[in-house]
Amino acid sequence: MNKLFALILIGMALTGCALEQVRNEPPVTQAVSGECPKLDAAVDVQLGLVRQMLDQDRAYAGLAHLAALDPTVQASAQARYLQAELLRHTGRAQEAETYYKGLLGSCIAGYGHHGLGLLAAEQDLPRAVVELREAARYLPTDPRVRNDLGYALLLTHDVPAARREFMTAVELGDYKQRASLNLVLLMLYAGDDQGAGKLGRQLKLSEGELERLRRRAVDLRATLKTEPKKES
């Protein structure tokens, strides 16, 4: 399993579908060449249906619907982003990488870097951090990007930098629950049981939920086989 997604399973177990509701929002941002051209209302509805399928873990159906769209629609940056996401969710990493790379000079370059970072996380963590940092440069207020960068930094044992990213994601709001859970995990991983317990109570986590996070922290320590960097 991709390490960067390992906590998603915990997050879903603790909070139901809250994560899924924000995972694949349509990219509307400024990047290399400014804002994306506004799509026709009918096209936006069509792509919205594909996005809904992705959110519902129906990536194969999403690919089929995307293939049925007009080629001019398929050529839009928004459609190519969805194609990359759908390919990644069906295990076609190499094809997804090609599509993500094709976004780097587009109006949604940040999402291209984000996707490349997620793909790299399984095999090349330093590269994943580079890509996710670049994504955060383009998308500084996207809580999903900041949260994923924080988790990648946690996997490199950089507790101070990871904490900054998680705190940023929490304060940005939309990913508050997921980033907060990651912050609890980070505290447990760093040995701050008191801080983790306090935050857990603020989040109204049950003892069972906290225990699952404690086990995850132990697993991280065993997998990474190193002590975390201490905060100065």
pLDDT higher than 50, residue 134? yes
Rounded mean pLDDT of 12-36? 40
pLDDT higher than 80, residue 198? yes
Instruction: Write down the pLDDT at residue 93.
Output: 95
pTM of the model: 0.81
All structural domains of the chain with their residue ranges: 1-16+141-232
DSSP-assigned letters across all residues of the chain:
--GGGHHHHHHHHHHTTHHHHHHTPPP--EETTEEPPPPPHHHHHHHHHHHHHHHTT-HHHHHHHHHTS-HHHHTSHHHHHHHHHHHHHTT-HHHHHHHHHHTTTSTTHHHHHHHHHHHHTTT-HHHHHHHHHHHHHH-TT-HHHHHHHHHHHHHTT-HHHHHHHHHHHHHH-TTHHHHHHHHHHHHHHTT-HHHHHHHHHHTT--HHHHHHHHHHHHHHHHHH-SPPPPP-
pLDDT higher than 70, residue 231? no
Mean pLDDT over each residue of the chain, to the nearest integer: 83
Instruction: Write down the pLDDT at residue 176.
Output: 74
Q: Which residue has the higher pLDDT, 18 or 140?
A: 140
Instruction: Write down the pLDDT at residue 52.
Output: 93
Rounded mean pLDDT of 90-112? 95
Instruction: Write down the pLDDT at residue 32.
Output: 41
Q: Which pLDDT tens digit goes with each residue over 82-99?
A: 999 999 999 999 999 999
pLDDT higher than 50, residue 11? no
Confidence of residue 74 (pLDDT cuts 50, 70, 90): very high
Q: Which pLDDT tens digit goes with each residue over 43-69?
A: 889 999 999 999 999 999 999 999 999
